[in-house]
Structure 1
Amino acid sequence: MASPLVLVLVLFLVMPIIMIGTVSFWRATEFSIIPAFDFENYSFLFGSPVTYSVFLNTLKYALITWAVTLTLGYTVAYFLAFHVRSLTWQIVLFLLCTIPFWTSNIIRMISWIPFLGRNGIANSALLSWGVIDEPLDWLLFSDFSVILAFVHLYTLFMVVPIFNTMMRIDKSLIEAARDGGANGLQILWNVIIPLTKPGIMIGTIFVVTLVMGDFVTVRIMSGSQSANVGRLISNDIALLQYPSAAATAVVLLCSVLIVIGIFLRFVDIRKEL
């Protein structure tokens, strides 16, 4: 009975990864691709200081985005699960959170440009309120705008698994903790957070993997002034350097798997699945 699922996984997951790994050992010239087993792509990749800089930049985006989305996502999920008593209102408010995701990621990213620009809404408002004397240049085409776009795009991926986990918590446990004299902060730290760790971990895996593999957001929101690993791969593909792009993709895949492996050592998400 499992054979159809195994076949699907082999055809659409295992085989593409094997092909990418194979191509990563090929050589490419300006005019052709040579199928040969060669470590030239990897030696160039690991021998370039740009590679380490870009990977560190990618990791920086992932960690900052993860921290912000976790804070926002946990707050929203906590409010929906424990402060909204009516199931109808929970559904309504949750659907409101999903409305921005009914549009394209590109549209949602571009919508920040007139808001954050030098003559945009944010700078105009701050100038009119007397908060600043001149427009802020770092609001747009900077790391700030990139991370802001990431948070906007991926917060829901943190909200959903955490909210799902919180809804499964037995309310009698919280009542027992309250009867035992625990205050709200103690209940949150000692009861709710430990029971929601699987949801936190699932949301973390979603956010980190999406951010580390993204390249469009970085290109648009940084004004092509910053780079991540996804942009390296995109640039190689644009130059028809498929072996180099494949080698970078393999290294990125291994990096993401290592990060996920580290996360999974802290929480057993099989309890949630």
Structure 2
Amino acid sequence: MKNSTRASRTALYAWLQAAPLTAVFVLFFVVPLLLILMVSFWQATEYELIPAFTVQSYADVFTGCPVTADGDLCVTFKTYLSTLRFGVLTWIVTALLGFSIAYFLAFHVKTQLMQMVLFIVCTVPFWTSNVIRMISWVPLLGRNGLVNQGLQGAGLIDTPIEWLLFSEFSVVLAFVHLYTMFMIVPIFNTLMRIDRSLIEAARDAGATPWQTVRHVVLPLSRTGLIIGSIFVVALVMGDFVTVGVMGGQQIASVGKIIQVQASYLQFPLAAANAVILLAVVLMMIATLMRLVNLRKEL
């Protein structure tokens, strides 16, 4: 009886400790999502929102899909493919950069103090606003920016390169600049947990550095790669500020479409797009989660 009472009291204390965080989660995450889902089924006129159940907003999102009368993909499919392309390109570059930097910090920097100093250096860009960091690329990549002037001064080009700014290249570059840190942190954390004796065993067995990385380090760092990938993919898919600023308001993305629809007070249509985007991102995350058992690994 005493053991049962003690177990019940422990369980009660555990629930009480989790209650504040649960309340915050429900209030600021679950409730807004439910409101967005609810509004996506409302009707809208030029002057008001009508809380009447309809699926017209979802029908409007997929108008002409999958192929229009002209034989082209519908706007929705084109926009999602463009956004997915940004996500894949950003993921590839951030994964390569993130793993390289994390590997250097974990295995080539010998002292914890220097690791900490260099890790803090990696976080320096986060001390300023995302918008400021994006705008800082304009004087570098513009038609008369430092890059074009430098290339022209060196005689490598005759005319300025136009696609450096306000293009898909500049959008991906900004994404990499903004989100590489989200890949570095989980990979570095995973690499620091690798038993160094495994590295020594691989070397003693005659493995080259590349073979050690490929057959020992990469498999053991898979958890960090998956976590970083989830962060990067989710952030890129929902981003609209970066696409707007670095794309010169000329490149479409799902987040940008939602922002424009909300600015024109088309809240049910924007909510429907947001729900569809959330479903797509959740499916992508579920696919990544199938590659590794995070509960077991962490």
TM-score of the pair, normalised by structure 1: 0.98
1:59 equivalent in alignment to 2:84: yes
Q: Is the 8 A contact 1:142 1:222 kept in 2?
A: yes
- Superposed, which structure 2 residues align to 1:42-57 within 5 Å? 42-48=58-64, 49-57=74-82
1:204 equivalent in alignment to 2:220: no
Counterpart pick for 1:216 among 235, 241, 258 = 241
Q: Where does the alignment leave 5 or more consecutive residues of structure 1 unmatched? A: none
Letter in 2 for 1:121: L
Between the aligned partners of 1:82 and 1:75, the Cα distance in structure 2 is 11
Counterpart pick for 1:11 among 14, 18, 27 = 27
| Residue 34 (structure 1) shift | 0.8
| Residue 9 (structure 1) shift | 2.1
1:98 equivalent in alignment to 2:154: no
1:195 equivalent in alignment to 2:220: yes
Greater RCO structure (CA 8 Å; 6+ sep): 1
In the other structure, the counterpart of 1:147 is 172
In the other structure, the counterpart of 1:263 is 288
Secondary structure at the aligned position of 2:62 is classed as: helix
- Superposed, which structure 2 residues align to 1:45-124 within 5 Å? 45-48=61-64, 49-124=74-149
Q: Is the 8 A contact 1:201 1:263 kept in 2?
A: yes
Secondary structure at the aligned position of 1:169 is classed as: coil
Counterpart pick for 2:53 among 37, 48, 51 = 37
Between the aligned partners of 1:269 and 1:142, the Cα distance in structure 2 is 37
Deviations 1:71-93 (CA, angstroms, capped at 9, x unpaired): 00100000010011111111111
Give the total of aligned pairs. Answer: 273
| Percent of residue pairs identical | 57
| Residue 272 (structure 1) shift | 4.4
| Residue 250 (structure 1) shift | 0.1
Q: Is the 8 A contact 1:84 1:90 kept in 2?
A: yes
Deviations 1:152-206 (CA, angstroms, capped at 9, x unpaired): 0000000010001000111001111111121111111111001100100110000
Secondary structure at the aligned position of 2:29 is classed as: helix
Deviations 1:195-230 (CA, angstroms, capped at 9, x unpaired): 100100110000000000100000010101101011
